[in-house]
Amino acid sequence: MKFSQTQSNFYSPSGKDFRTTLSTTTHLGIGAHADDLEILAFPGISACYGHAKNRFSGVVVTDGAGSPRTGPFASMSNAEMIPQRQKEQRAAADLGKYASVIQLSHPSSAVRQADRSQVVAEL
């Protein structure tokens, strides 16, 4: 799998490669930000959780650098937030028994700008 952003990654809780994992995906959720999948794609996640054949995969488009900073995150820089949000998304994939999660890691500005062709092409 080829990504345009250096921080992009593919994660499968089962450890299987992306072709194998994506070929078993029956439900796909796409969210702009970390945590969007667990809110917006909950019906798909719940339809797959513990199901013998249904498998959920999710795509997170942005990198999480601009996440709110309170509590333990108050002193984190944007660069520190990116791996933190990725770690949290992988933990959600483990907990939700996803087939996979793909984190494209585009800056939020790439999604907000008029020309989103790079983001669209990657999706």
3-class DSSP assignment, residue 96: coil
44-102 pLDDT tens trace: 999 999 999 999 999 999 998 888 888 888 999 999 999 999 999 999 999 999 999 99
Q: What is the DSSP string of 33-86?
A: STTHHHHHTHHHHHHHTT-SS--EEEEEEE--TT----GGGTT--HHHHHHHHH
Q: What is the pLDDT of residue 55?
A: 98
Residue 56 lies in a domain: yes
16-53 pLDDT tens trace: 999 999 999 999 999 999 889 999 999 999 999 999 99
Residue 20 lies in a domain: yes
Which of the pair, 68 or 3, is modelled with greater confidence? 3
Residue 116 lies in a domain: yes
CB 103 within 8 A of CB 65: no
Domain that holds residue 80: 9-122
Rounded distance between C-alpha atoms, residue 28 and residue 100, angstroms: 10
CATH of the domain at 44: 3.40.50.10320
Residue with the two structure tokens 């990654």: 9
- Per the structure, the count of domains in the chain is 1
